[in-house]
Each structure stands twice: as C-alpha cells, then as structure tokens.
Amino acid sequence: MLTGYHVAVIGGDARQIELIRRLNEWDATVYLAGFDQLNESFREAIDLDFDSEQVEKLDAIILPVPGTDSDGKIEGIFSNQLIHLSEEWLKRTPDHCQVFSGIANDHLKDLAAKTNRTLIPLMDRDDVAIYNSIPTVEGTLMLIIQHTDFTIHGSKVIVLGLGRVGMSLARTFDHLGAKVSVGVRSSKAAARVYEMGLDTIDMNDIENADMSCDILLNTVPHLVVDASVIKQLPSHAMILDLASKPGGTDFRYADKRGIKALLAPGLPGIVAPKTAGRIIADVVSRIVQEGSRKENE
Ligand code: NAP
C-alpha cells in the first residue's frame, strides 16, 4: 500500500491511466497534470497546481515513458496544455522526491543533477525491460501477421541481438515453428543460443554470414541491417526493426530493393497499454516502498 505517499503523474498516454488506477487502489494521494481532456475522471485524484504547496509534499513524480523533450517539455495525449519541467519547480519538491521516467535524455539527467533529485529511468531496468518484452513480442507477431502472406510456422527467421527483447522473440518464434537463427557478437550469447537449440549467426562477421531469411527481426540499436545484409534477402522477406529510433536498418536501401521494412517503436504502449501501465505501476510501487523501508531503517 502507498498510504501517505504523494505522487504526481504528469502527462503521458494510455499507460498512465492504468498507472493512476493502481496508485489510487494502493491509497496514494495522486496529483494529475496533463489529463484535462481525458473522458474518464479519477474521483480520488487531485489536479496538480504547480504554484501551490502541493509541490512541497511530493514523494514521487511520474513522467511519461519518453520523459521530456530536449527543452523540458512534457507531452501528453490527453491535454493541449504546455507543461514544462523547470529546475526552479523541481527544487521546490522535498529532497527525497524521486523522478520516474521511461527513458532519460540529457536534459532530464542534467535537471536531476542540478536539483539533486533521484532520476529513475524505468526502461533501463532489467525487470521492466523483461516484462515489457512480452507485449513487445505480441506486437511483433501482430505486425508480422498483418504484413506477410505466409505463416510464421516454417519460415526462416533471423533475430539480431539476444538481449531482453531478442531472447523473448527468439523463443516465441521458435515455439511457433519458425526456423530461428540468432545474431550475436559474444561467445556467451552464442552459448545461450546453442543451449536454446537455435542457430547462431556471428555478428562480428556478419558480412560473410548467410542472412537470407523470410523475416528479419532487429533489436540492435546500431546500423547492422545494412546493404550487405539486405541484398541477401529474397524479395518477399520482411524486416521489422524494433530497436530504438532510428533503428538499425538501412531503410533507404531496403526501399530501393523493394523489401518491406518497418520501424516499430513503442509496441507495449500500442498493443497492450493496460499491461504496460501495470508493469510501470508495479515497479514504481516496489521502488517507492523499498525507498521508504530504507529511510525507516
Ligand atoms: P538489450 O537487452 O540491451 O539488448 C540489446 C542487444 O543488442 C544485445 O544482445 C547486445 O549485445 C546487442 N548489441 C548492442 N550493440 C551491438 C552491436 N554494435 N553489434 C551487435 N550487437 C549489438 O536491449 P533490449 O531491452 O533487448 O532492447 C533492444 C532494443 O529494442 C532497444 O533499442 C530498445 O529501446 C528497443 N525496444 C523496443 C521496443 C519496441 O516496442 N519496439 C520495446 C522494448 C525495447 P551484447 O549483449 O553483446 O551487448
């Protein structure tokens, strides 16, 4: 339970709706900004007044998954309000106030450093990334099914990267009956691919690897699907790039060759905002409660 906790939720998308619901269930005092055009109303939540003494009570501030833009502006799909996170405002929060964000850009890191507030980029955490890989894989399946005219079963699938997303993708596509190869660069990851009963592609020598496949799924946030890879793909192949923007694919060359290539960011928030919101709420609640236990020790 979060009884006695004061949490401000500022901006965001459908994921925040589930987060707010959870915070209310857990009895936190919730302040909202950036939700004035939301059809649903949260009876227990209070409108955040940036100029009031509410600010001095805040134990936590929860920003949208993208955090702020490079000027400190916070985007929200439920409001036209311009919300700006300033150094002066953040300094008015209590010293222990934690700032949660999905990802943290340089502006946000700089702001946290200048105000001496703890910034927690949730997407950097293994637990959040692994939980989020579940809706990411489901979104991947949805897009592949929508954009191909052949079954996943029996297809040759290459997954590049065996991190938190790559591992879940490789396992799921294997279970669906695809012939899966995984591109890795370390001997440790190669051993894991072997243990999973899948084929390994050595990404240190990708120029000489056999990259022909029906479906190429990239999770490596660097340009790895370059012209040398794309030229090996048959014309019916599809590239789905899941890595953070701008992805790891030479989209221009794929287009020139007539290969369907899509960059698909933010799948959890698109295909399963409720689950994605719960993942954030559960982790935020755990971190806040751990913090309070430490303070009381
Ligand atoms: P991760 O756990 O860090 O995995 C990244 C993988 O890329 C690791 O296997 C890493 O190998 C490999 N890698 C990194 N740089 C490489 C390089 N230069 N050459 C070859 N391999 C390289 O990350 P993740 O959580 O799986 O996320 C992967 C990407 O997907 C990120 O960009 C993330 O932002 C994005 N993402 C997208 C969605 C979506 O909806 N589209 C959802 C979640 C995450 P090593 O282990 O050898 O370093």
Domain ranges of the chain: 4-123+272-293, 126-264
- CA distance linking residue 263 with residue 247, whole number of Å: 7
Asked whether the domain spanning 126-264 has the same topology as the one spanning 4-123+272-293, the reply is yes
183-215: b (≥16 Cβ within 10 Å) or e: bbbeeebbebbeebebebbebeebeebebebbb
Cα(166) to centroid(ligand 1), Å: 7
| Residue 178 structure tokens | 């695809």
Third-level CATH fold of 4-123+272-293: Rossmann fold (3.40.50)
Dihedral, CA atoms, 162, 168, 174, 179, nearest 10 degrees?
Answer: -40
Dump pLDDT digits (tens) for 75-103: 888 888 889 999 999 999 999 999 999 98
- CA distance linking residue 99 with residue 198, whole number of Å: 41
For residue 109, how many C-alpha atoms fall within 13 Å in the half-sphere facing its CB?
A: 5
Describe the strand order of the beta sheet including 199-202 as a list of residue ranges.
199-202, 179-184, 156-160, 215-218, 238-241, 260-263
Burial class (CB in 10 A: 0-12, 13-18, 19+), 101: buried
> What is the SS3 assignment for 7?
strand
Residue 32 contacts residue 45 (beta carbons within 8 Å): yes
The pLDDT value recorded for residue 273 is 92
- CA distance linking residue 266 with residue 102, whole number of Å: 11
Dump pLDDT digits (tens) for 35-80: 888 877 787 889 899 899 999 999 999 999 889 988 889 988 888 8
Compute the mean pLDDT over every residue in the chain, rounded to the nearest whole number. 93
User: Quick one: what percent of the chain has pLDDT higher than 70?
Assistant: 98
The pLDDT value recorded for residue 209 is 93
Confidence class of residue 296 from pLDDT cuts 50, 70 and 90?
Answer: low
- CA distance linking residue 20 with residue 13, whole number of Å: 11
Cα(85) to centroid(ligand 1), Å: 29
CATH code given to domain 126-264: 3.40.50.720
The response to whether residue 12 sits with its C-beta less than 6 Å from ligand 1 reads: no
The residue among 271 and 291 whose pLDDT is bigger is: 271
Cα(265) to centroid(ligand 1), Å: 13
User: Within 10 Å of residue 283's Cβ, how many Cβ atoms?
Assistant: 17
In angstroms and rounded to an integer, the radius of gyration of the C-alpha atoms of the chain is 22
Q: Does residue 163 have a pLDDT over 80?
A: yes
- CA distance linking residue 175 with residue 170, whole number of Å: 9
Q: For ligand 1, pick from 219, 249, 275 the residue to mutate: most ligand atoms within 8 Å of CB.
A: 219
The response to whether residue 162 sits with its C-beta less than 6 Å from ligand 1 reads: yes
Dump pLDDT digits (tens) for 181-202: 999 999 999 999 999 999 999 9
Q: For ligand 1, pick from 131, 165, 240, 241 the residue to mutate: most ligand atoms within 8 Å of CB.
A: 165
Residue 168 CA to its chain's centroid (Å): 14
The response to whether residue 187 sits with its C-beta less than 6 Å from ligand 1 reads: no
